[in-house]
Amino acid sequence: MSGDAPDAGAVAGYLKDAQARICAQLQALESSAQFGADNWKHESGGGITRILEGGEVFEKGGVNFSHVGGDELPAAASAERAHLAGKPFEATGLSLVMHPRNPYVPCCHMNVRFFLADVKDNENEPGWWFGGGYDLTPCYGFDEDCAHWHNAAQNACAPFGEKHYAKFKAWCDRYFHLPHRGETRGVGGLFFDDYRDGGFARAFAFMQSVCDSFLGAYLPIVERRRGMNYGERERAFQLHRRSRYVEFNLLYDRGTLFGLQSGGRVESILMSLPPCARWDYDRRDAPGCAEAKLRERYLRPRDWARE
């Protein structure tokens, strides 16, 4: 591999190491539950899914590495890339979702990925790109947590351009939005796609910066909230809010669609779903109460890094 040519193997190696590092630090929060490992193979490729269930801190969590390919790029990845439709492809990524037990600890999602498509017959069109980001989904919002999360995201972007954070923060707010509910999924973070700025090496470095900043963004929030007391009211609201998470992932999430369309392992693709959720018919919380405050203050775009 010469010059600044894209190197899917290098990306895959980094992501495997990142999976191990992230799981080790999340595991350190648990006293008994352990991450299990599912090394799966499929005709399209394979991966390692690390799942933790029944923990004291995390009711369920998954950290999934995958490296797949095929003869035809799925529609979820080629819908806005007409020149790549039907091309052979290779994709590698790391996807993480953690569902805490305590309703005061927010759910989190992180994903970074790399696509490489065969465009030998059209060298003028780029056939590789990075994508990813992370977002935070609280049931009970805290300004301190939102500011910390977004400052970590801003710091991860800063070495790569002063406009990166604002651009990818706004993209995250647009992407993680439930139009049928008229609300965002959570308090946002970063979302980027089709990223090739500065060539492969620099774009790869940006993806690594985002991934490497995740634990520093999330773990201090977990430590602040994990010991807060809660009861049946908070638990019921947590299950209610988890239903919104399910709705987004099954109706709108492009990563879920890509995984299913590319023939990946279904259990790994759907690991993002919570262990339990509830759909309350036409739930209405009293204005100003702790539960209503989530929608009133937090489920809409805000400039948390400045507040």
Indicate which residues carry an active-site annotation. 109
Q: Is 41 exposed, middle or buried (0-12, 13-18, 19+ CB in 10 A)?
A: exposed
Q: How far apart are CA 93 and CA 15, in angstroms?
A: 7
Q: Are 243 and 277 in contact (CB under 8 A)?
A: yes
What's the CA angle centered on 291, arms 287 and 294, to 5 degrees? 90
DSSP H helices in the chain: 8-27, 75-78, 143-157, 164-175, 200-225, 232-251, 254-261, 266-269, 290-293
Both tokens of 48, joined, read 């390692």
* Inter-residue contact 97 to 271 (CB < 8 Å): yes
Burial class (CB in 10 A: 0-12, 13-18, 19+), 22: buried
Are 168 and 94 a contacting pair, CB within 8 Å?
Answer: no
As a whole number of Å, the end-to-end CA separation of the chain is 46
